[in-house]
Each structure stands twice: as structure tokens, then as C-alpha cells.
A and B are shown apart, each in its own frame.
Chain A
């Protein structure tokens, strides 16, 4: 019990005084996860768009496969990336192992399937009648696609935010690829794992609070988006007039 009380007290102290170690870890976490999220979005949204807008053999199987990969274990991604970028691996010459860049690569790959799947779901939410309307107004294929993506913007944004949530909270890739090197690749999750093992509960709790705060911000963002705007998107997609 005293561990918890003194831990929380110490944690509050660390956060309020903007402890450099804590801040450095939190900022690195944000940097790596945000970069991964942006990269993944740049890859996943076009792929999702391609899968949604073009008909091809095995489309359903591919979507099922992507949905399966939502629950891709972080340690499996960690293992695969490790094998790819370790000295003897095919990408060994770039020296990415135990660097933030390597972590970004791993997290990007980790969240691409989820973002792609959710982007496809978001685009599917835009009704056939919207597509027909755009065509009837003389939109070219490309102009239609741009408008449909705009129409699904809120749902696509939710997909991106969920991807960020998964990236910042994962341990597997961060630990296996980053190696939890102090001041270099130590992020919130790996630091919590380590400091707890060392019995430095105050530090762990402080990082945990920060991690939770970030999660809270994500939830608030999601809530604002879904409650305020997604309803309207469905309304348009269904073309249902508001009562």
C-alpha cells in the first residue's frame, strides 16, 4: 500500500517539475508513434481506397485477411522486423536495429492493416447514391474518388486516431526493435516495464499517468468526432432527411 501512495506522490512530483528524463521519454514516444501514424496513414489510406474502388478477384479474401491482421501480435511484428533489419538481415546495411527509425518502421507495419481495414469500412459507408450523384454531375473517376474520400473524412480520421492509439500503447516492437536504450530508444511503455522491474514505482506511475492522459485525449477526440459528426455522415450516406 505504501508503495502505491509514495509512488503516486513521487509521480506527481516528477510530472509537475517536468522531470527531464520523464519528458524526454514522453516526447520520444509521441515522436515515434506520430511519425508511424502519419507514415501508415499515407500508405494505408491509398491502399484502402484502391481496394474499395477497384473490383478484382479475391477482394473479399483480402479484406478478411486485413481484418485478421488487426490483431497482429506486436511481438510477431517485432520478430519479423528484427530479422529484416538486424546486421545479417536483408536490410541490415541500413543499421536500423535499436534506433527510433527502426521503431517507426515496426510500428508503421503494425498499424497499417488496421488503418487499411478501417479506411475500407469508412469508404464503404459512403452510399451508392452519393457515387451516382457525383457521376451524374459530370465527375471524372478521379474527381469522384476525391469527393467520396472527403465524404468519409470523419470515419477515416477515426481510423487514423485508432492507429495512433495502438502505436503508442504497444510494447513488443518498441522493446525488440528499440532495445529500450536510455536516452535513445526508451519510450513510455518500455520504460514502465523496466522501471517496474527495478522497483522504481514512482517513475513507472508517472509514465503510466502520461500514457493514460494521451489515451484520454484520444478518447475525447474520438468522442467529439463520433458524437458530433459521424451521425451526419451516416445521414448523408443514407440520404435520410433530418427530422
Chain B
């Protein structure tokens, strides 16, 4: 187990790594080799005789990983292992986590608040909301097929619309949302109430006077920009009428297209980019 805060005991790095072996009564003369191997694994070869408390946070966390790995565990528990580290140290720890998983075949359970880190490291993800596991699944299931509204918001599907299925031909449905027709994939029969989840990066914005988007885009909604919010190298463009939709575009394209509040734009959304959930299930 490795904790969020890097913790070392006030002794040498080697002694720190040796604790797990000593507590289990597995410490012998050959353990020096095992300990050095564990230090090699985390990239701290030659740090053995250093005082552990003089190391940096990232190095301490690597000592903690070596200390946990030296006993050859089947399962490694990591509680937000990079939460207190700078980006460079975090990247080093992430690389290590991947190596331990791939090379030593150790099962790793890791908690994190960082969605992107979750995507980078995990094979399977469980989302904990309000103290309960709300959904488990692969990356695609979690990020593109959230089960309900809170999960959708949590994983970043900002646009949540409720509508009624008008007709359904072999899985491709026409859904009415406040009088606007949407095309999306769903098994829900006509007449059923559904929720539409749309991730902002799936929404392509074009100017009404510009060239048309590829024909595979089934949904083209003309709306008005209500708000433009900077988001790192991107901006989030919020459209409020006729239905609220959020789009994520790069800073550059926002400037080039000359988007501004109050402007009319066309939001293009592929039918496959809309995740449809029966309303009864989604509000559970």
C-alpha cells in the first residue's frame, strides 16, 4: 500500500525498504540483494545509504513504492499516489506504476481524482459517487456510456438533454428535444422518454455562412452562443438556444472562426456521438 502523502521513517532508504521484510520475519543476509533490486526498480539505485527524510517528495514516494514491492505483493493499493507531487515526479510515478503492472504482473488498485490519469493508467475504472461505486467498466464504458446524469456530469459529458423517441428504425432513432429533432442510436421504442449525453469534444461548431460539415454528421443545430469560457488550450462554448449544448474547441479555431457571445452558430453532432439512456434508468 502506498499513501497519498509520501511517508518515510527517519532512517536510511535501505532500512525503509527493509521494513516489510523485517515485519514478516523474511529478513536475511540475502535481503540486501532484494532491497537493491527494489531500489533499481524505482530508479533509486545507490540511494540505499541516504537518509530517507532528506529526499524530495517524488523520491520519497518512489521509496514507498519500493517498500511496498519488496515483499512481492499480488495486489498493490495506491491511494492517490501522485496527488502531492509536481508534474515531473507524477509522470515518473505513473511510468513506474505501468512498469510494475506490465513486468511484474502485479494487480494494482489505484484511486485518483485525475480523470486523465485514470484514462492513462487503468484497464478498468470504477466511479465512486457519494461513497458508493456508481459504475464500473472499461474506459469507453465509463467515459462514453455513463449510466446516469450524475455519472455523465462527473466524467465530463456536459450536455444532458431530455427528449422523447419519435420513431426508431433499426436502432437509429429520431428524438424530439424541445421541438428540435435529434438522430441518435438507441433501442428505446417510440414514445419512450430518454436522456441524451453529449461530450463537448464531440460537438463541432461551424459558422452558418461557412462551408458545410461532412455529411456523416446527422445532427445540425443552429443556436446562439451564450458564453465562452477558457479551458486550458481550449475554450468551452456554451450554446443556450434553442437547446443547451456545450462544445469544446481549440483556442486557435475559436479565434479563427471569430466566435463571440450572441453569435449564431451551427453545432454538428454525429448520431454515434450521442449516448442515449432511458430516462427511467438515468434518474435512478
A and B: interacting chains: yes
Select A151's contact among B1, B9, B24, B57, beta carbons within 8 Å. B9
Nearest-neighbour CB distance to chain A for B175, whole angstroms, equals: 50
Stretch of A102-110, A128-136, A191-199 that contacts chain B = A128-136
Q: Tell me the smallest distance from the CB of B81 to a CB of chain A, in Å.
A: 13
Interface residues of A in 132-157 (CB under 8 A from B): 132-134, 136-140, 143, 147, 150-151
B19 engages A137 (CB within 8 Å)? yes
User: Which residues of chain B have C-beta atoms less than 8 A from A92's C-beta?
Assistant: none
B57 and A241 contact, CB distance less than 8 A: yes
Q: Tell me the bound Cα distance from A151 to B19 in angstroms.
A: 13
Which stretch from A2-10, A40-48, A50-58, A231-239 is at the chain B interface?
A231-239
Contacts A134-B19, A137-B19, A137-B23: A232 and B3 contacting too (C-beta < 8 A)?
no
Give the distance to chain B from A149, nearest Cβ to Cβ, in Å.
12
Q: Is the CB of B56 within 8 A of A241?
A: yes
By a CB distance below 8 angstroms, the chain A residues around B8 are 236, 239
Partner of B3, one of A129, A151, A233, A242: A129
In the complex, what residues of B have CB within 8 A of residue A130's CB? 7, 9
Inter-chain contact A139/B53, CB cutoff 8 Å: no
Give the docked Cα–Cα distance between A241 and B85 (Å): 10
Docked Cα-Cα span, A136 to B67, in Å, equals 10
Residue B10 interfacial (CB < 8 Å)? yes
Q: Is the CB of A133 within 8 A of B10?
A: no
CB < 8 Å A-B pair total? 63
Query: Which residues of the partner chain B approach A241 to less than 8 Å between Cβ atoms?
Result: 6, 55-57, 60
> Which of B3, B9, B10, B11 counts the most A-chain CB atoms under 10 A from its CB?
B10
In the complex, what distance in Å separates the CA atom of A90 from the CA atom of B7? 52
Give chain B's interface residue range (CB within 8 Å of chain A). 20 to 34
CB proximity to A under 8 Å, residues B25-79: 51, 53-57, 60, 64, 67-68, 71, 77
Q: Which of A138, A143, A151, A242 is within 8 Å of B10, CB to CB?
A: A151
Is B23 a contact of A139 with CB atoms below 8 Å?
A: yes
Flag if A236 contacts B53 (CB, 8 Å).
yes
CA distance A140 to B23 in the complex (A): 7
A242–B53 CB distance below 8 A: yes
Tell whether, in the assembled complex, residue B60 and residue A138 are in contact, meaning their CB atoms are under 8 Å apart.
no
Nearest 4 CB-CB pairs, A to B? A241-B57, A136-B1, A239-B5, A137-B20
Q: A236-B9, A241-B56 are in contact. List 18 more A-B contacts (CB 8 A).
A: A132-B7, A133-B3, A133-B7, A136-B3, A136-B68, A137-B19, A137-B20, A137-B67, A139-B19, A140-B23, A232-B10, A232-B51, A236-B8, A236-B10, A241-B6, A241-B57, A242-B54, A242-B55
